[in-house]
Amino acid sequence: MSDSRPVENVVSERRRIVRPSERGGWAVCLPHAGRAVVVLPTRGDAVARAKRILATRGGGEVEVHQDGEVLEMHRVMARTSRRFGSVPAQRRVRRH
């Protein structure tokens, strides 16, 4: 089965842009998107969320933009397992 999506859409799914939001805070966006995926209070929070999104989607790049310039670029590898600490997610026990 072949992928029928245009190449630019596949490439844009592997990138996230972190930029200042008009309402304050920092927005995580898809390239060329008018809307933000999420707006967070700090740049660090937004970069961390963008990295987490890309890690679960197979990896990619996070770009931090401000005033029309690219300030930072981060390469994100795909997450290979769903482990939390050293205990697999299926085996975690919730204690009350």
Is there a domain that residue 11 lies in? yes
Of 40-44, 51-55, 89-93, the one with minimum mean pLDDT is 89-93
Domain count, the chain: 1
How confident is the model over 63-88, as pLDDT tens digits? 999 998 999 999 999 887 655 555 44
Is there a domain that residue 63 lies in? yes
The token pair that represents 21 in the structure block:
């939001």
Domain of 58, in residue numbers:
7-78
The widest CA-to-CA distance across the chain, in whole angstroms, is 49
Is there a domain that residue 67 lies in? yes
Say yes or no to pLDDT of 53 above 80: yes
State the DSSP H helix or E strand holding residue 26, giving kind and residue range, or none if neither: strand 26-29
Is there a domain that residue 88 lies in? no
* pLDDT for position 78: 87
What integer is the mean pLDDT of 25-42?
93
Is there a domain that residue 89 lies in? no
Which residue type does 24 have? G
Residues 60, 15: contact at Cβ < 8 Å? yes
Query: CB under 8 Å to 25, separation ≥6 — which residues?
Result: 39, 40, 41, 42, 46
* pLDDT for position 15: 94
How confident is the model over 4-26, as pLDDT tens digits? 555 455 556 789 999 999 999 99
Is there a domain that residue 16 lies in? yes
